[in-house]
Amino acid sequence: MTPMAAIAGARLAHRDTPGRLVLLDHPLFKFGGLAMGVGELFGDKMKSAPDRTVLLGLLARVMSAGIAGSALAPRGREKLGAGLAVATAVPMAYLTLSGRKKAMAEIGQTKSGLIEDALIVAAGAAVVAWAVRGRR
């Protein structure tokens, strides 16, 4: 949910994305996107949280990445942006899960989760900030 939360944050800061996301112009979806991103950050720390590679986790990742990739792509290249984002998000789910499991064994679930979240939120914010730079 980080991509959607980052885009919602940009929209709340009155920044436009290159691609059009009509739903994120509505306050309910802006705040909902932020809430989902925050909820994921907290939910990920629970011992009962499923791996990100389960079917529903991957489906959510595909949808979120596709929407974000489309929104951040230059106009007319939204399908390519969505495809590239999905093609990146799915393999990264497996790579980051592997890294997270190794980190959990060494420093624990909460610490490894906080470090991972800080990196992901910073990367997501940087990508969205780069894509919306100069747009109002």
Q: pLDDT tens across 78-91, in order?
A: 899 999 999 999 99
pLDDT at 135: 61
d(CA 135, CA 114): 31
Domain containing 96: what range?
A: 2-132
In this prediction, the residues of the chain whose per-residue pLDDT falls under 70 are: 134-136
Number of domains in the chain: 1
d(CA 111, CA 68): 28
Distances (CA, A) of 59 to 14, 63, 121: 29, 6, 20
Instruction: Tell me which amino acid residue 56 is.
Output: L
What is the pTM for the complete model shown? 0.82
Structure confidence by residue, pLDDT tens digits, 27-42: 888 888 888 888 888 8
pLDDT at 9: 85
Instruction: Tell me which amino acid residue 16 is.
Output: D
